[in-house]
Structure 1
């Protein structure tokens, strides 16, 4: 079976690749790997989300922000750079992705708590979840993933998800609204074939 970026411990070549990228207005010299999602640069979906953070609900001061499916870390690094007083967490099933995010946080000079999903303590609740979710793991696995992490939102917390229109952004928004009737699910931005969906605070 071919390995995917969501393989926990990939056996493929782990050569590090230099990665120069602009995040939160800063030019950063980072590292990546071909075996993680969008290992050679910032993917279009994540770029759309990061370009439109001013169109989603801001996390509260000193809030707790989760990058769900962190890859090499662009969302977590941006969160830490733009909200230096926040507690930023980065979660990924891939051990390699976690290693890269931790290294890139050191290179960027920011604090990010990097861990596997099962390592997040049960009592932790998040004020914001930002994610380019792994749509290609399949609908049932994606739904289970999202329900698990939406349950980790604080009552006043929000989640911003970037999803391709052709990959089911609108059906996913409807499904989330059905599954989370206590939270409003809205489309906050649309660009380059992607939608930014927001799961609002509990009412």
Structure 2
């Protein structure tokens, strides 16, 4: 079975598009098979984008697991002076994000494979609809890797479905020494706010 978290998706390409409609933003985004939620903006992503405060207006921001870019492009639209890193393992996702950012004239979006972000970059904010389905251990390793790159006053917002372990993830984050609080809850999704 093919997964959206593979580097080279096995699913044959079938380009499509979706509309991202938010109170402050309307974008048409290219999508394709083999990426996360290609038929529609994922409900968790929508809950995140409608619930979190505006990102910091400067510095480096991170969309962890960018898919075709709805979170990264929203961050870039809301913080036009910041540099937004759109990070994924899926090469097709990164290509789509790059095309979508160009189409939206959002030139400060930097699509990058997880291993291509310079080690010295620190993030003022991380927004993520994390790939829960990669498994608990892999997700814990991924979150540890990127959360440790928050600036001292940086903040991460993670959206996780209640039925897919949002409460246990919150406990795990707290056990690792992070301040993890529930920022919002809607439609069976939790928004976790994570700080040092």
SS in 2 for 1:174: helix
1:16 aligned to 2:11?
no
Distance across 2 between alignment mates of 1:161 and 1:29: 24
1:42-61 pair list within 5 angstroms = 42-54=41-53, 58-61=54-57
SS at match of 1:10: coil
User: 2-side partners of 1:35 and 1:25: how far apart?
Assistant: 29
Q: Match for residue 66 of structure 1? A: 62
TM-score normalised by structure 2 residue count = 0.95
The CA RMSD over aligned residues, in Å, is 1.2
Runs of at least 5 residues in structure 1 that lack an aligned partner in the other structure:
none
Where does residue 127 of structure 1 map in the other structure?
124
Look up the match of 1:190.
Answer: 185
User: Do residues 151 (structure 1) and 148 (structure 2) align?
Assistant: yes
Q: Displacement, 1:94?
A: 0.2
TM-score (norm 1): 0.92
Question: How many residues in Structure 1 have an aligned counterpart in Structure 2?
Answer: 195
- Structure 2: state its 5+ residue gaps: none
Q: Distance in 2 between matches of 1:169 and 1:53?
A: 17
- Over residues 52-80 of structure 1, what are the superposed CA-to-partner deviations in whole Å (9 max), with x where a residue is unaligned? 023xxx54331211000000100000001
Does the 8 Å CA contact 1:24/1:81 hold for their aligned counterparts?
no
Runs of 4 or more off by more than 6 Å in structure 1?
none
